[in-house]
Amino acid sequence: MTQQPDNLGTNLLKSVFGFSSFRPYQEEIIKAICRGQDVFAVMPTGGGKSLCYQFPAVVLEGVCVVISPLLSLMKDQVDSARETGLRAATINSTTSASEYGKALGAMRRNELDLLYISPERFNSPGFVEKLLDNKISFFAIDEAHCISEWGHQFRPDYLQLGRIAELFPDAPIAAFTATATDRVADDIRSRLGLRHPFEVRASFDRPNLDYTVLRKDDLNRQILDFLKTADGQPGIIYRGTRKKVEETALMLKKHGIEALPYHAGMTSEQRNLVQESFTYDRIQVVVATIAFGMGIDKPNVRFVIHADLPKNIEGYYQETGRAGRDGAPSRCLLLFGYQDVVLQNSFIEKYEDPQTREVTREQLKQMIRYAESDECRRKAILRYFGEEYPNDNCGHCDFCRGAIKRVDATVDAQKALSAMQRTGNRFGIGHLVDVLVGAKTERIRKFAHDALPTYGVGKEKPKKYWHFLFNALVCKGAARMRPDTDYPIPQTAELGFEILRGNESFELIDFVSAETKKRAPKKSRAAMRERGVDRGDPDLFDLLRTRRTELAAANHMPPYLIFSDNTLLEMSERKPMTREELLELSGVGEYKMKRYGQDFLDVIAEYIAESPGEEGLL
CATH number at residue 120: 3.40.50.300
Confidence of residue 137 (pLDDT cuts 50, 70, 90): very high
| Amino acid found at 344 | Q
Same domain assignment for residues 304 and 248: yes
Q: Are residues 194 and 214 in the same domain?
A: no
Give every CB contact of residue 377 below 8 A, 6+ residues apart in sequence: 211, 212, 213, 370, 394, 397, 398, 399, 400
Alpha helices in 193-309 (DSSP H): 219-228, 242-254, 268-279
- Among residues 201, 232, 251, the one where a domain terminates is 201
Residue 398 in domain: yes
Is there a domain that residue 187 lies in? Answer: yes
Same domain, 278 and 391: yes
Could you list the residue range(s) of the whole structural domain that residue 366 is in?
Answer: 209-402
Integer Cα distance of 450 and 440 in angstroms: 8
Residue 53 predicted with pLDDT over 60: yes
SS3 label, residue 434: helix
Across 532-549, average pLDDT: 83
Whole-number Å distance between alpha carbons of 287 and 557: 22
Give the lowest-confidence range in 22-26, 331-335, 361-365, 494-498.
361-365
Which stretch of 276-290, 343-357, 604-618 has the lowest confidence by average pLDDT?
A: 604-618
Better pLDDT: 21 or 175: 175
Q: What is the pLDDT of residue 524?
A: 43
Q: How many CA atoms, within 13 angstroms, populate the side-chain half-sphere of residue 375? A: 12
- Report the percentage of the chain scoring pLDDT > 70: 91
- Could you tell me if residue 514 is inside a domain? no
% pLDDT > 90, the chain: 53
Same domain for 196 and 226?
no
Nearest C-alpha neighbor of 453 from the set 431, 496, 495, 421: 421
Q: Do 37 and 166 sit in the same domain of this protein?
A: yes
For residue 143, the model assigns a pLDDT of 87
* Residue 46's pLDDT band (cuts 50, 70, 90): confident
Gap between the Cα atoms of 484 and 496, Å rounded: 19
Return the amino acid letter for 179.
T
Q: Are 36 and 169 in contact (CB under 8 A)?
A: no
* Secondary structure (DSSP) of 78-90: HHHHHHTT--EEE
On the question of pLDDT at 521 being above 60, the answer is no
Instruction: Report which residue type is found at 312.
Output: N
State the Cα–Cα distance between residues 379 and 390, nearest whole angstrom.
9
Q: Single out the residue of 513, 461, 519, 520 nearest to residue 216, CA to CA.
A: 513
| 89 vs 77: CA distance, rounded Å | 9
| Residue 301 and residue 327 in one domain | yes
Query: Are residues 25 and 165 located together in one domain of the fold?
Result: yes
On whether both 377 and 436 belong to a single domain, the answer is no
Whether this model's pTM surpasses 0.85: no
Q: Are residues 339 and 194 in the same domain?
A: no
**CA 592 to chain centroid:** 28
Helix (H) and strand (E) counts for the chain? 28, 17
The CATH number of the domain holding residue 569 is 1.10.150.80
**pLDDT at 250 exceeding the cut of 50:** yes
pLDDT at res. 604: 95
Task: State mean pLDDT over 395-414.
Answer: 90
Q: What is the pLDDT of residue 261?
A: 95
pLDDT tens column, 443-474: 999 999 999 999 999 999 999 889 889 988 98
CA separation for the pair 205, 325 (Å, rounded): 13
571 domain-assigned:
yes
List, in order, residues 6 or more apart from 398 with CB less than 8 Å away.
Answer: 211, 212, 213, 214, 377, 404, 511, 513, 515
In terms of Cβ atoms closer than 10 Å to its own Cβ (0-12, 13-18, 19+), residue 514 is exposed
Predicted confidence (pLDDT) at residue 518 exceeds the cutoff of 60: no
pLDDT band with cut points at 50, 70 and 90 for residue 381: very high
pLDDT range class, residue 189, cuts 50, 70, 90: very high
Q: pLDDT of 16-33, one tens digit each?
A: 888 888 988 999 999 999
Q: Model confidence over 466-483: pLDDT tens digits? A: 988 998 898 788 998 887
Q: Which of 384, 402, 420 is the last residue of a domain?
A: 402
- 176 vs 30, 51, 146, 315, 599, CA distance in Å? 13, 12, 11, 17, 36
pLDDT value, residue 292: 58
Mean pLDDT of all residues in 101-122: 92
**Where among 371, 402, 433 does a domain terminate?**
402
What would the pLDDT profile of 493-515 be if each residue is shown by its tens digit? 999 999 999 999 998 877 544 34
Q: Is the confidence at residue 1, as pLDDT, over 50? A: no
Q: What pLDDT is stored for residue 557 in this prediction?
A: 86
| 392 and 419 housed in the same domain | no
Statement: residue 617 has pLDDT above 80: no
Classify residue 519: in a domain, yes or no. no
E-assigned strand segments in 153-208: 173-177, 198-201
Residue 345 lies in a domain: yes
Taking residues 308-314, what's their average pLDDT?
90
Distance CA 460, CA 456 (A): 9
- Count of domains forming the chain: 4
Same domain, 120 and 245: no
Within-domain flag for 520: no
Whether the CB-CB separation of 596 and 562 falls below 8 Å is answered with: yes
Position 334 confidence tier, pLDDT thresholds 50, 70, 90: very high
Q: Sorting pLDDT into bands at 50, 70 and 90, what band is 531?
A: very low
Contact yes or no for 318/178 (Cβ under 8 A): yes
DSSP 8-state symbol, 616: G
Residue 512 forms part of a structural domain? no
Pair type for strands 209-215 and 330-336: parallel
Report the pLDDT value the prediction gives residue 293, as an integer from 0 to 100. Answer: 56
- Does residue 361 surpass a pLDDT of 90? no
Report pLDDT for 530. Answer: 44
Residues 46 and 22 in one domain: yes
Q: How far apart are CA 231 and CA 464, in angstroms?
A: 30
Instruction: Tell me the pLDDT of the chain averaged across its residues.
Output: 87
CA 78, 83, 88: angle at the middle one, nearest 5? 35
Q: Exposed, middle or buried: residue 429 (CB in 10 Å: 0-12, 13-18, 19+)?
A: buried
